[in-house]
Structure 1
Amino acid sequence: MKQQEQIDVMRRLFALREQDRNEEMLGKVVRVPVENYTSPEILDREMAKIFRTHPIVAGHVTNVREPGSYLLSDWNKIPYVVVRDRQGKLRGFLNQCRHRGARLVSGDEKQLKAFVCPFHNWVYDLDGSLRSVTREYNFPDLDRGEYGLKELPVVEAGGLVWIHPAADAEVDLESYLGPMLDDLVDFEVDKLVRYRKTKVVKEANWKLLIKTYLEGYHVPYLHRTTLSKMFRKGVLSHSEHGPHIRMIAARSNIEEASETDPESWRILEYASVYYVLFPNTFFIMHPDYVSINIFYPEGPDRTIWTHEMLYREPDFEGERGQEGLAKRFEFTNDAVFDQEDFAVAENVQEGLLYGANEFHTLGLEEGLLAMFQGSVDDRLI
């Protein structure tokens, strides 16, 4: 986010605090049918028309900086592996041997020197080419050039690695993300390093989980002993680019900036910045660390959730720095996300079984939820 835009956003936040209102969203109440969270047929359409037709975040570039380093899919529905090859190029492949389809990379490997099939020991180079076939006399007419690994489009941009599940897709992230990509570049997300990553299954629809982030209406109540004190008199500003949403939440200390030179304002010192990177990534920039949350639907009421926390090494040096990171991760991952946001999402999901509501009613401060649902719905037509 360029400095002038940071100044403009800060001024909007000051004005919103004076009004004690969030920036206007849709300007109307919206009803969302609860079948969006329970229907296997809707999930099938989401898989076909969203998850197989859009680029998705594979992870942060810190995971694949060196040749042989790799990112492995957390989701068997799109079983990819992304690797940095010997020439320094990022490559994405389906994690399947071209002989009989065995999984090549398990995730236990520290670094890859080659892809080696555990079934019959076929070996592929890091560029995906078939290097050797055991007992090759069994395949007298085999053309190795036709048996390279199935390659998928991969793009590195804004510190994130993106992969597309369609082999013939063209990925133009500058067009797809627009100013959201500019923000990631300006905030130097590429210079972050990974602290820790978790992977768990939540018993809730993937959209319900994402929607817990998209409004501040719940913060004083659900997060009364955690986040609420950091966001007193909290207000939200937002913007969109296509299906992507940026949400900026003023923190309690923002008034301290009002008496300083606007040219010195750094928005992350006074606000948290949130991004929905459509379809399934929620990216959060706090003043001193970053959270990448990705949601992979396993069923209408079951979702894999991964959370990767990133930080800048100079900000957390030594033993005390690592202790500080541990506390932040425990607070964010365990207390706020797992025990509050996603616990209530699971509670809501369970309640859908009993028929109290045919739809969820979204008020004026929940308009971003309706925008996100609209982006999903538009792609299912």
Structure 2
Amino acid sequence: MRHEKQVETLNKLLALREQGRDEEMLGEVVHIPVRNYTDPDIFEREMATAFSDYPMIAGHASSVREPGSYLLSDWDRFPYVVVRDRDGTLRAFLNVCRHRGARLVSGEEDRLKAFVCPYHGWAYGLDGSLRSVPKSYAFPGLDRCKYSLQELPVTERMGLVWVHPTSGATIDLDSHLGAIGDDIEHFAIGDLVRYCKTSVTRNANWKLLLKTYLEGYHVPHLHRTTLAANFKKGVIAHYEHGPHIRMAAARTNILDVLDVAPESWRILDYASVYYLLFPNAFFIMHPDYVSINAFYPVAPDRTIWTHEMLYRESQFQGERGQAALAKRFKFTNDVVFDQEDFAIAERVQEGLRYGPNEYHTLGTEEGLIGIFQQSIDSLIYPERAYQSARG
């Protein structure tokens, strides 16, 4: 985030704190039908729109710096592989053999010299071209040019690798992310390194999991022994670009910024900054590390959640530094996310089977959830985009 934007956002948070309320969101109570979290038809519509029409984050660019290095999809529904080819070009393909559909790369390989199918041995170059077919005489007239791997749009930006799920689509991150992309660029994620990445399947709808991040109303209660002390009298300011959202949440120490000259203000010293990158990624920015969470729907009530933590090496050097980093990851991943946020989301999902609620009622401090739901609704039901979010 550019310095002038940091100053502007901190001043907005100070004003909101003085008023004792969050920035205006939807400005009204909204009702979201609970069928959004259970209906198989809604689920398939989401897959055909939100998860087909937008570029998705594959991972940190440091994973594919050298020829033969690669990234694999975390989601069986979209089984891609991103690889750096011999010429240094970044490429993405569906991780599927063109012969009988077997997966080509398992993730156990160190570096790739080629794609070789474990089923019948068809081999492809890192450019995706079909190079050899065992017993090729058994395929008379085979045109190898028609059996290249299916290529996908891919690009590297902001220290991240982006893949589009639709072959032939284009990735224009400038128009896609707008000022939010500029924000993330200035946080210099590309200078960070990966600490670790986890992948867990949770028994809850993907939107229920993601929505735990979109409001601070729950913090004094659900996080009363973990995060609540850091956000006393906390307020939230937000910004939208299309379906993407930036949130800034004032921390307990925000008044300390008044003792510092504005030219020295750093927003992460006084506020937590979050980004929802539509449809399924959520960034949590910290002064010396970043949490990238992604949610991959498996079924209406089941979701793969991945959490990749990136950190600044200079801040966690030596054995003591790595121990401190491990402690932070355990607290963030195991306690706050896993045992608090997503455990309650699973209980909500279970309650949908038996509970009395036809709708979830959202107060004005939960407006970002309604805004996010409107983005989904506008895709799956464009003719009545706002009705289901506003009730």
Same fold (TM over 0.5): yes
Alpha-carbon distance in structure 2 between the residues aligned to 1:144 and 1:315: 51
TM-score (norm: length of structure 1)? 0.98
Give 2:167's aligned residue. 167
Q: What letter corresponds to residue 47 of structure 1 in structure 2? A: M
> Is the CA contact (8 Å cut-off) linking 1:272 and 1:287 kept in structure 2?
no
Pairs within 5 Å for 1:2-81: 2-81=2-81
Q: What letter corresponds to residue 270 of structure 2 in structure 1? A: Y
> Is the CA contact (8 Å cut-off) linking 1:33 and 1:358 kept in structure 2?
yes
Provide Cα deviations, 1:35-86, integer angstroms capped at 9, x if missing partner: 0001011001111122112211111112112111111011111111111111
Alpha-carbon distance in structure 1 between the residues aligned to 2:20 and 2:344: 26
Pairs within 5 Å for 1:287-306: 287-306=287-306
The CA RMSD measured in Å over matched residues stands at: 1.0
Q: What letter corresponds to residue 65 of structure 1 in structure 2? A: R
Alpha-carbon distance in structure 2 between the residues aligned to 1:301 and 1:87: 43
Give 1:227's aligned residue. 227
Pairs within 5 Å for 1:140-155: 140-155=140-155
Q: What letter corresponds to residue 303 of structure 2 in structure 1? A: T
Provide Cα deviations, 1:131-176, integer angstroms capped at 9, x if missing partner: 2222222223122222111001012111221111111111111100
Provide Cα deviations, 1:229-269, integer angstroms capped at 9, x if missing partner: 12222111100000000001112222221111101111112
Alpha-carbon distance in structure 2 between the residues aligned to 1:118 and 1:33: 46
Q: What letter corresponds to residue 304 of structure 1 in structure 2? A: I
Q: What letter corresponds to residue 321 of structure 1 in structure 2? A: G
> Is the CA contact (8 Å cut-off) linking 1:173 and 1:181 kept in structure 2?
yes
Q: What letter corresponds to residue 210 of structure 1 in structure 2? A: L
Alpha-carbon distance in structure 2 between the residues aligned to 1:98 and 1:109: 20
Provide the secondary structure at the position in 2 that maps to 1:297: strand
Provide the secondary structure at the position in 1 that maps to 2:367: helix
Give 2:83's aligned residue. 83
> Is the CA contact (8 Å cut-off) linking 1:194 and 1:309 kept in structure 2?
yes
Give 1:131's aligned residue. 131
Give 2:386's aligned residue. none
Give 1:368's aligned residue. 368
What is the count of residue pairs matched by the alignment? 381
Unaligned 5+ segments in structure 1 are none
> Is the CA contact (8 Å cut-off) linking 1:57 and 1:163 kept in structure 2?
yes
Give 1:310's aligned residue. 310
Provide Cα deviations, 1:261-295, integer angstroms capped at 9, x if missing partner: 10111111221110110001111111221111100
Structure 1 residue runs of 4+, over 4 Å off? none
Provide the secondary structure at the position in 2 that maps to 1:13: helix
Provide Cα deviations, 1:110-131, integer angstroms capped at 9, x if missing partner: 2211111101111111111112
Alpha-carbon distance in structure 2 between the residues aligned to 1:127 and 1:254: 51
Give 1:240's aligned residue. 240
Give 2:271's aligned residue. 271
Alpha-carbon distance in structure 1 between the residues aligned to 2:53 and 2:17: 40
Alpha-carbon distance in structure 1 between the residues aligned to 2:88 and 2:313: 24
Q: What letter corresponds to residue 191 of structure 1 in structure 2? A: D
Alpha-carbon distance in structure 2 between the residues aligned to 1:280 and 1:300: 15
Alpha-carbon distance in structure 2 between the residues aligned to 1:316 and 1:232: 28
Alpha-carbon distance in structure 2 between the residues aligned to 1:337 and 1:169: 34
Alpha-carbon distance in structure 1 between the residues aligned to 2:183 and 2:169: 25
> Is the CA contact (8 Å cut-off) linking 1:271 and 1:286 kept in structure 2?
no
1:210 maps to 2:237:
no
Provide the secondary structure at the position in 2 that maps to 1:41: helix
CA drift of 1:355 comes to 3.3
> Is the CA contact (8 Å cut-off) linking 1:236 and 1:248 kept in structure 2?
yes
Provide the secondary structure at the position in 2 that maps to 1:45: helix
Greater mean alpha carbon deviation, residues 153-162 or residues 217-226: 153-162
Q: What letter corresponds to residue 48 of structure 1 in structure 2? A: A
CA drift of 1:332 comes to 0.4
Give 2:385's aligned residue. none
Alpha-carbon distance in structure 2 between the residues aligned to 1:259 and 1:267: 14
Give 2:192's aligned residue. 192
> Is the CA contact (8 Å cut-off) linking 1:94 and 1:150 kept in structure 2?
yes
Provide the secondary structure at the position in 1 that maps to 2:376: helix
Alpha-carbon distance in structure 2 between the residues aligned to 1:84 and 1:324: 33
